[in-house]
Amino acid sequence: MAKPNVKQQLVTAGLNLLHSKGFNATSVQDITDAAGVPKGSFYNHFASKETLGLEVLERYAEAAATYCDVLDDTSLAPKARMRQYFDLLIGANTATDYNCGCMLGNFSSELSSQIPGMRDVLRRCFDTWAACLAVVIAEAQRDGSVRAPQPALELAHFIIDAWQGAVLHAKASQSRAPLDRYADMVLNQILL
């Protein structure tokens, strides 16, 4: 197996640290130490920690998008697919004891105005995510299993925003309760 190159090691270490500790609480030294590479090598690959932050967010969003595959499983009814999808998201948060949150939300909170270009990447990530969810919601509206009259894309955006808030509360309270409440409210009240 080929040895991962230094840039890849920095991205992987950066993703883990920026997700678990946050952007401003993590130094370039923390990242190079975790990657096991000399500090100086960082700047051969990234102009700044901000540049790495943008790349790490893109990688995070790509990885998170694979969860959306369960939304394509047409052997299940649309709302059953969404239930599976929420279970995956809740499982990923449970696996880190609710400590990491969602990088989209964390970066929205911490970095929206700090890193040039960050808003564009965040906006694109939120829009892509909402578009995926909207397909399933629209399908459920067509088959009558969801009667909510709002446009599917509006519902999808609201549901994703509400997820971000539930994740924050789970992190603050170190508890799964906000996430279970979220899934129940979305499936049994919003998507009624």
* Cα separation, 76 vs 159, whole angstroms: 20
CA distances from 134 to 130, 154, 188 (A): 6, 8, 17
Q: Is 148 in the site for a copy of itself (CB under 8 A)?
A: yes
Q: Which stretch binds a copy of itself (CB under 8 A): 11-19, 38-46, 51-59, 168-176?
A: 168-176
Closer CB to a copy of itself, residue 37 or residue 152?
152
Contact (Cβ atoms closer than 8 angstroms) between residue 163 and residue 102:
yes
With CB under 8 A as the contact rule, the residue among 123, 128, 142, 143 that binds a copy of itself is 123
Closer CB to a copy of itself, residue 35 or residue 57?
57
> Rule CB under 8 A: which residues touch a copy of itself?
21-25, 99, 101, 104-110, 112-114, 119, 122-123, 126, 148, 150, 154-155, 157-158, 160-166, 168-169, 171-174, 178, 181-182, 184-185, 189-190, 192
